[in-house]
Structure 1
Amino acid sequence: MIYSVLLASLGLASQAWAACTRESLKEATTSYIKAVAAGDLSIPALSSNVSYLENDKVVDIKTGVLSQPITVDFNRSLHDVTQCATFTEISAATNAHPYVIHTRMLFTDDKITTVQTVVADDGDWAFNATGQLYWNKQEAWEVIPEAKRDARDVIQAAGDAYLDSWSDGTVSVPYGTPCARLEGGSYTDTRNTKANTCYMPVFPEKFTIGNRRYVIDEEVGGLDIFNDFPFIDQDKPDGTPSTNFIRVEGGKLRYIHEVTICTRRNCGL
């Protein structure tokens, strides 16, 4: 029922998509961003198969974070025609309550049937919305010429290798040179060094990053992996909501944005 509320509030209920197209997915993310800015998500239309998760919890979208107007300072989206899915990153640094919001939307026929959000704010891992906005705007995520685009499996494998390497030093990760990581508001700036600064040291214990959910956009080499990041939050040792938003160029990692939620304030520090 929750998702029909979002569907109509985004102005999508009247659309009848014959098939999932890049254009229809772009329209959906544009409408989503406008709806977030307006905080206008309440309409009478409902659907029996809707699902909404906010930081891995079922929440009534009428009372969740998306129900309030949010200043959208910057945004990027991925459009996955193969899965009929989208991903949107919103930086809301100048909002009265600063946020960084990652949203994954899934479509069935002409309807949004699943929306998952990871909503980070003060107290979450390395959170600094001002820094996140500043560095985010410096990056170039232009469309990759068709002849140079990586296949879906190459893009996903690069992201999976990065996550797998955190607990297994034998995993070969295709780091690019340069490569930069935006973790919360902390950035490994490579504009001058031209170096690989995305390298992650191996954590001292073995663990598995599970519940991976993907959105892949070959046109921009984009990948987002929603996942459960274990052990960093003592209140959720099996995994706290996290996403890694990644750009792959020529099979190599170029940009990585991490957003991780803390149940216990400032987890991991």
Structure 2
Amino acid sequence: MIRATIMSVLLCAIASVQALAAECTRQTLQSVTDSYVDALRKGSPSLMLLAPQAKYIENRKEVRFGEGIWKAPLAVNFFRTLIDTDICETFTEIIHAGSSHPYVIGTRLKIEDGRIAEVESLVSDEDDWLFDADNYLKYSSTEKWDVLPPDKRTDRRTLIKVASDYFDIFEDYSAFERVPWGIPCVRIEGGAYTNVSNAPDPSCTVGVPKGGGVPMTNRRYIVDVDMGAVVGQVDFGGPKGLPDAHTFRLENGKLRYVHVITLCPNGCPKIPPPEDMPEQ
């Protein structure tokens, strides 16, 4: 009797895991994310595949669907999605440019049972760090973030470590040596670009701060192993710091692209640009 009960429990557990795996395929998560982008374009949250108790968080504050960025339809010029089948979450970079109120948005979706349980968006605009939606669109839309061949991919644990080491630089510059810098590599930071001269061998080390003493806390990661990408959402400057998302792409184990969205809810700090940062 006991043996039969144990077997029954094990079979139920296996079935649950298999069901979760089926719901968290790339195809399913991409389809659910596409429903979010379509709803955003039409300004209609009801078009999303929402779970009954779904939450919306905009710039770290929970608000109702229909408020904030959802008040009106939003033309989406470009978007790109990272898909994490391990934790059933996605992260989408969305660019709305060419209007009187442009945005660059980073959205995390938490998906349960094939439906969106949580939408968390960082909505950046002209009041935020180095913001330039036109530049962001110009450069991001020409980059190649395709699914990598298996021999060029980096495993999940290493992708998270690279992002973590990069964040560590802001507090302790000695972490610089741990980051697998690649060439070519370019960074888009709010809209500022590290290779405006279109050099053939750019490096993402340009403009990396050397002062230290700035902690990057509350780190949360979404990892797309197939794409060689990881996004880290952090508090820039410690608890209650600036809401921030850094997205990294690695090819052959080396950094290829870095994208940065940083919000300045109380005004951006007056920091002179690094001497090696190119003039925009």
**TM-score for the superposition, normalised by structure 1:** 0.85
1:49-85 CA-to-partner distances (Å, cap 9, x unmatched) read 4332111111112212134211100110011111111
Query: Counterpart in 2 of 1:263?
Result: 265
Within 2, Cα distance between the matches of 1:180 and 1:126? 16
Partner in structure 2 of residue 195 of structure 1: 202
Is 1:208 the counterpart of 2:215? The answer is yes
Which position in structure 2 is the counterpart of 1:173?
A: 179
Let me know the Cα RMSD of the aligned residues. Answer: 2.3
After superposing the two structures, state which structure 1 stretch, 89-98 or 31-40, moved more.
89-98
1:42 offset after TM fit, Å?
Answer: 4.1
Equivalent residue in structure 1 for 2:255, among 221, 241, 253: 253
TM-fit CA distance, 1:24 = 0.4
SS in structure 2 at match of 1:51: strand
On the 8 A contact 2:39/2:46 being kept in 1, the answer is no
Percent of aligned pairs with the same amino acid: 36
Please, which moves more after superposition, 198-207 or 17-26? 198-207
Give the drift of 1:191.
Answer: 4.4
Contact 1:167 1:203 in 2 (8 A): no
Relative to the length of structure 2, the TM-score reads 0.81
Counterpart residue identity of residue 208, structure 1: P
Structure 2 unmatched runs, 5+: 1-19, 272-280
Cα 1:145–1:68 shift into 2, 3 Å: same
Structure ID, larger Rg: 2
Asked if structure 2 preserves the Cα contact closer than 8 Å seen for 1:158 and 1:248, the reply is no
| Equivalent position of 1:8 in the other structure | none
**Residue 79 of structure 2: aligned partner:** 75
Distance of 2:243 and 2:148 partners within structure 1: 30
Shift of 1:97: 1.6
Please tell me whether the aligned partners of residues 125 and 268 of structure 1 are also in contact (alpha carbons under 8 angstroms). Answer: no
Question: Does structure 1 residue 184 correspond to structure 2 residue 190?
Answer: yes
TM-superposition CA deviations, 1:238-258 (whole Å, max 9, x none): 411110111111221111110
Does residue 1:226 correspond to 2:233, yes or no? yes
Gaps of 5+ in 1: 1-15, 232-236
Pair 1:34–1:48, CA change in 2 (3 A): closer
Could you tell me which residue of structure 2 aligns to residue 123 of structure 1? 127
Give 1:225's aligned amino acid: G
Q: Counterparts of 1:201 and 1:96 in 2: how far apart (Å)? A: 31
CA distance, structure 2, for counterparts of residue 142 and residue 47 of structure 1:
30
* Contact 1:99 1:120 survives alignment (8 Å): yes
Counterpart contact for 2:194–2:206, Cα < 8 Å: no
2-side partners of 1:194 and 1:108: how far apart?
43
CA distance in 2, matches of 1:79, 1:254: 18
Alpha-carbon distance in 1 for matches of 2:29, 2:50: 21
Q: How many residues align?
A: 248
Shift in Å, 1:18: 4.7
CA distance in structure 1 between the partners assigned to 2:214 and 2:260 by the alignment? 18
Q: In the alignment, is the contact (CA less than 8 A) between 2:183 and 2:256 conserved in 1?
A: yes
Q: Distance in 1 between matches of 2:231 and 2:85?
A: 14
Contact 1:17 1:110 in 2 (8 A): no
More helix by percentage: 2
Contact 1:222 1:247 in 2 (8 A): yes
Residue range with higher mean Cα deviation, 218-227 or 186-195: 186-195
Contact 1:107/1:114 (CA < 8 Å) preserved in 2? yes
- Alpha-carbon shift at residue 205 of structure 1 (Å): 4.7
SS of aligned partner of 2:110? strand
